[in-house]
Structure 1
Amino acid sequence: MPIREKSKPAKRDRVTIRTVAAHAGVSVAAVSKVMRNAYGVSESLRARVTRSIEELGYRPSRTARGLRGRSFTIGLLLVDIRNPFLPEVIDGVNGVLAPSHYQAMIGVGEGRMQLETSLIESMIDYKMDGLILVAPRLPTEIIAEFAGQVPIVAVGYHDGKAKTFDTVNTDDQQGAEIAVEALLKCGYRDIEMLSLGAREGHKVSVVRQREIGYRRAMLRSGLSSSAPISHIPVHSPKREEAMRVFLARSDRPRAVFCWSDLDAITLLSTAAEMGVRIPEDLAVVGYDNSTTAALSLVNLASIDQSGRELGEAATRTLLSRIEGRSEAEHLLLMPSLVRRKSLIDSL
C-alpha cells in the first residue's frame, strides 16, 4: 500500500495593518490611531477595529514599527521592586496601555544612579517610544539630556521647573501636613518623623518633600522648636536596629509620622516584638496606603496617594507627549488620610 503523504496545512497569508483596515472598512490611518490610543478616537471606531484585530489575529511586527520610528513599547523604570506601593503604579500604567497596543517593559534601578543611567540608555537603544521614571535618583540636568532623545515623565520627582520632561506627583508636602494635623486633632503634641537617611534623598525627592510638609505643619501649630526627624538607614540590619533604638528611647515620642509604609510596617512589627503597644504607647501614621497597611493584623493609618491613579496619569501624560505635545506638564494629585487602628481618636 502506498504511503499517503501527510497533508500540509495551507499557508496563511500574513495579516497586515492594511488587511485589518479592509476588514473593518476603515482607513489605515484610522487603524493606526486606534492602536496608538490617539485622542479623538470614537468608541464605535475603536470597537470595530479591535474586533477585526481579534478576528484576524493581527500581531504587529515590532521590528517594522521600529524601522518606521515607533516600537509601541514604553520603558518603566522603578526605584525598588520591594516597595508594596509600586504594584499599584504598574497596574495604572498597564490599564491605560491595554487598549492602545503599547506594552510596558520594566527595569529596576535599585536607587543607584549608575544603574539608572545604564537602564535608560538601554531603553533608548531599544527604540522605546517613551519612558516613565518612578522616583529616579538622577539630577534634573541628566534627565533633561535624556528627554532630548525620548519623551520622559518622572513620577515622585518634584521638579516643577523642568522644561523638557513632564512630572506627575502627589502633593507630598500636603500629605505630610495631613498626617501631622490628624495627629494634632487626636491630641498628640509630641510628634516625631521617621525619615530616610539624609544622603538617601535629593531636594526634589518625595522624602524631602514630606519632611518639608511635616515641619510646616509643626510650625503652624507652634511646635517648630520640637519637630525632630529621625533618619533611618535604608538597608538591613542597620535599618531594624535603628528602629529598635528609636522604640527603646526614654524620650520616645507619643506619635510618629513615617515617610513610607515600608518603614511604618516594619516599625509596627518591631514594636510588637518589644512590647510597645500601638496606638496606646505609640500612635503611627504611614504614607502610601499600601495593600499591606489595610491587613487586619497591621491596621496602619496611612496617607493615600493612589498609586494606580499616579500610574494612569503618568501614562496618559506620556502618550500625549509621544503624540507631539512639546510644552511641559507638571501634574499634582491630592492625597488623603485613611484612618485605621494605629491612630487613636482620643487620648
Structure 2
Amino acid sequence: MAQKNGETRSGRITIREVAEDAGVSVAAVSKVLRDAYGVSDALRAKVRASMDKLGYRPLAAARGMRGQTYTIGLVLPDIRNPFFADIMVGVNNALERTQYRSMIGISQGSAQGELAIVEAMIDRQMDGIILIGSTEDRANLDVIAAKKPLVTIGHHDPEADHFDTVNNNDQQGGLLAVRHLVAAGYNNIAMISLRSGTSTILAERELGYRRGMVEAGLGNQINIQQIPQTLREVQIAARRLLQGPNRPDAIFCWTDFIALEVISVATELGLRIPEDIGMVGYDNTMFCDFAQNSLSSIDQSGELLGLQATRLLIERIKGRTEAEHFVVPPRLVVRRSTSRQKSA
C-alpha cells in the first residue's frame, strides 16, 4: 500500500531524511529550522525545497522542548467585527516569509475569557502573544509580558516599558468625525460608544468627540450613549435615540459594525440618510463601500496595525527589550451617509 506524502513507516518525515534529500548535514537543516544567524539564502532555499518535496513538518511539541514553537497567539474580543479581519490580513502578510504561524483565540469581550486564553497559549509554549482590544490594565499586562513577548493592538499606554503597543490615534479620529459632520451642516451630533469602563480606545474616541463638540461651540449638546455590544441592545439604544424628543441629526458610532446596525434601524423608522440623519463609523471596513451602506468612516488602517504588531512581536521574540509604541494617523473617508450640505 502506497504511503501518503510526508509520512514514513513511523508516520513522519524526519530531519535526517530532509538532510539526505538536500545533500546537507543534519546540523544545517537544524540551523534553517531555527532561522539561525549566518545561514545563506542558497542553503535555506535548498533545505526548504526538500521540506516541501517530502512534506516535512516540524513537530511543534519537540520544537517547544528546544525553546521555540514558531507559533504566535492572537486574542480577539469578537469574531463578528469585520475590522478584525483587516488586522488578520496584516498579521498573515507579516508572517508570510517567516516560519511563524498564528493561532487565534476569541475572548467574547470577557476579561476572564481573555486571561484563560492567554494562559492556554502560554501553556502551549507559543513564542509570543498579540492582544487585540484588551481591557487589561498595565499591571496585568506586565505579568503576561514577563512570561511571553507581548504586543497589544487597541490599548493606549505609551508609558508601558515591558510590552509594545500599536494603535490608531483614536482621539484624533473622534475629532475628525465631529469636524466633518459640523462642516456638512449637522449640529445635534450624538455618539454611540461601548459600555466598557476600562477600554482606552473608547476613552480616546469619546475625548475626541467631546473636543470636537466644544471646538464647534456645541459643548452643551454633548450626548454619548454607552451601550453593550449586542444586537438587541444596539437596536434598543438606536430606537430610543432616534425616537426621543431631542433626536440628533447625526450620529458618530465607535465602530462600523455598530453604525451599520444604526443605519438599519433608522431606515426601518422611515428616516432618510443623510437628509434626516448623518452617520459616521470607525474602521472603514469593506462593508462601508457597499452601495446600500455608503458609510463615511474613520480609516485606522487595520492591515497596517496587524503588520506592525507582528513585526514588533517577532523583534521581541528575537530579543529586543526596549518598548516601542507605534501610532497610525487616522483619515476620514467620506461617502453618501454624510453628504448633506450646509444650508446657506
Do they superpose with TM above 0.5? yes
What value does the CA root-mean-square deviation take over the aligned residues?
A: 2.7
Task: Report the Cα offset of residue 24 of structure 1.
Answer: 7.6
User: Are 2:63 and 1:65 aligned?
Assistant: yes
Structure 2 residue 217 is matched with structure 1 residue 216: no
Q: Tell me the CA shift for residue 11 of structure 1.
A: 5.6
Q: Deviation per CA, 1:206-263, whole angstroms, max 9, x where unpaired? A: 1111001111222223322322212233234233111101111231122111111111
Structure 2 residue 103 is the aligned partner of structure 1 residue 108: no
The verdict on how the C-alpha distance between 1:21 and 1:310 changes in structure 2, with shifts beyond 3 A counting, is farther
Instruction: Tell me the equivalent position of 1:256.
Output: 251
> d(CA) in 2 for partners of 1:60 and 1:260?
40
Distance (Å, rounded) in 2 between the aligned partners of 1:336 and 1:223: 23
Q: Does 2:262 correspond to 1:267?
A: yes
Deviation at 1:344?
Answer: 1.0
Contact 2:156 2:167 in 1 (8 A): yes
Q: Is the counterpart of residue 92 in structure 1 residue 90 in structure 2? A: yes
- One-letter amino acid matched to 1:141: A
How much has 1:117 moved relative to structure 2?
1.1
Query: What is the aligned counterpart of 2:73 among 75, 94, 102?
Result: 75
Contact 1:20 / 1:58 at 8 angstroms: preserved in 2?
Answer: no
When residues 43 and 244 of structure 1 are mapped into structure 2, their CA distance, relative to the original with a 3 A threshold, is farther
Note the C-alpha offset of 1:163.
Answer: 1.1
Report the TM-score, using the length of structure 1 for normalisation: 0.88
**What residue number does 1:137 align with?**
135
Does the 8 A contact of 1:260 with 1:288 survive in 2? yes
Q: Is the CA contact (8 Å cut-off) linking 1:293 and 1:299 kept in structure 2?
A: yes
Unmatched 5+ residue regions in structure 2?
Answer: none
Q: Does the 8 Å CA contact 2:234/2:261 hold for their aligned counterparts?
A: no
Segments of structure 1 that go 5 or more residues without pairing to the other structure are: 1-5
- Which residue of 2 is the match for residue 125 of structure 1? 123
Distance change in 2, residues 1:24/1:287 (3 Å):
farther
In 1, the alpha carbon distance for the partners of 2:39 and 2:244 equals 61
Report the residue type matching 2:111 in the other structure.
M
TM-score, normalized by length of structure 2? 0.89
Q: How far has the Cα of 1:58 moved from its partner?
A: 2.5
Q: Provide the rounded CA distance (Å) in 2 between the counterparts of 1:41 and 1:338.
A: 45
CA displacement 1:60-112 (0-9 Å, x = unmatched) = 12122101011111111000111111111112112212321211111111111
Q: How many angstroms apart in 2 are the aligned matches of 1:151 and 1:25? A: 33
Give the 3-state SS of the residue equivalent to 2:225 in structure 1.
strand
TM superposition outliers: structure 1 runs of 4+ over 6 Å: 6-10, 40-45
Work out whether residues 21 and 31 of structure 1, in 8 Å CA contact, stay in contact via their aligned partners in 2.
no
In 1: Cα distance, 2:308 partner to 2:293 partner? 29
User: How far apart, in 1, do the equivalents of 2:256 and 2:66 lie?
Assistant: 44
Cα distance in 1 for residues equivalent to 2:127 and 2:188: 50
Relative distance call for 1:190 and 1:44 in structure 2 (3 A) is farther
CA contact (8 A) 2:300 2:331 kept: yes
Compared CA separation, residues 29 and 66, structure 1 to 2 (3 A): closer
* 1:346, distance to aligned residue in structure 2 (A): 1.2
Q: How does 1:284-295 map to 2 (within 5 A)?
A: 284-295=279-290
Give the letter for the 2:328 counterpart. Answer: L
* Separation of aligned partners in 2, 1:7 and 1:70: 34
In the TM superposition, residue 28 of structure 1 has moved relative to its aligned partner by 4.6
Do 1:70 and 1:129's aligned partners in 2 also have CA atoms closer than 8 Å? yes
CA distance in 2, matches of 1:288, 1:102: 27
